[in-house]
Structure 1
């Protein structure tokens, strides 16, 4: 009975070495692969543009009045007022609204601006 335990069984050890050999054979070609060679452009100092934006500034009040350049404009004359000032303000329209202003009044002003050809419209609260 003692004779059977004298030898070491190396079969599991051989299995482990074979598995490690297969893993190394699969990984070795991946280690030699080079990535894509990219030429990254150099950072160029950005030239700042000091362009002054000329936007038409309308104010919509809580009671639905439209004010531009401290002048009240009736709702019926919005398109005419925008068209008259469009040459002087090529960069669009800025609508300033009071917190309690009706949404319908703002939408009416936006529609009038779009019908005159203005594509850049911004809305801000006061």
Structure 2
């Protein structure tokens, strides 16, 4: 790091400092990096759903799947956007037509249903998924013993 000594050149005026101190910038960036590293895993699911338990092992995924969720009140969400039952078929058809995986197939759909909802509600959403052509559906559950 260089030091500026006063000079006699400017007739009493100081010369402007031409250095930028990057230490505070690096400190702020490291703090932000730590904050993002801690909060990123917490932003996984957008809709709070009380999932049932299962002893099945997790499946590997290639690309980002579409999440269809049904909460305790029976409200349907695609990713984290609420959707009415009337608009569900059109939204799913749009997803099937416009989103493709790397291999050209329609995207994987993760179905998340609260354990307190009616089974008929889940079946009607699964029927809409099938009608839209989204046949790669996985049902999401919590591992056994974890809540």
TM category, shorter: 0.5 to 0.7
Larger relative contact order (C-alpha < 8 A, sep ≥ 6)? 2
> What TM-score results when the alignment is normalised by the length of structure 2?
0.46
CA RMSD of aligned residues (A): 2.1
Equivalent residue number for residue 100 of structure 1: 116
Question: Counterparts of 1:91 and 1:85 in 2: how far apart (Å)?
Answer: 8
User: Please, which runs of 5 or more residues in structure 1 have no aligned partner?
Assistant: 1-49
Please identify the structure whose Cα radius of gyration is greater.
Answer: 1
Question: Counterparts of 1:76 and 1:68 in 2: how far apart (Å)?
Answer: 14
The 5-angstrom pairing of residues 28-107 of structure 1 reads: 52-86=62-96, 87-88=98-99, 90-107=106-123
* Matched residue count: 77
In the TM superposition, what is the alpha-carbon distance from 1:54 to its structure 2 partner?
A: 3.3
Question: Counterparts of 1:112 and 1:102 in 2: how far apart (Å)?
Answer: 16
Contact 2:109 2:134 in 1 (8 A): yes
> What TM-score results when the alignment is normalised by the length of structure 1?
0.53
Give the structure with the larger helix fraction: 1
Q: Would you identify which runs of 4 or more consecutive aligned residues in structure 1 move more than 6 Å?
A: none
User: Please, which runs of 5 or more residues in structure 2 have no aligned partner?
Assistant: 1-59, 101-105, 143-147
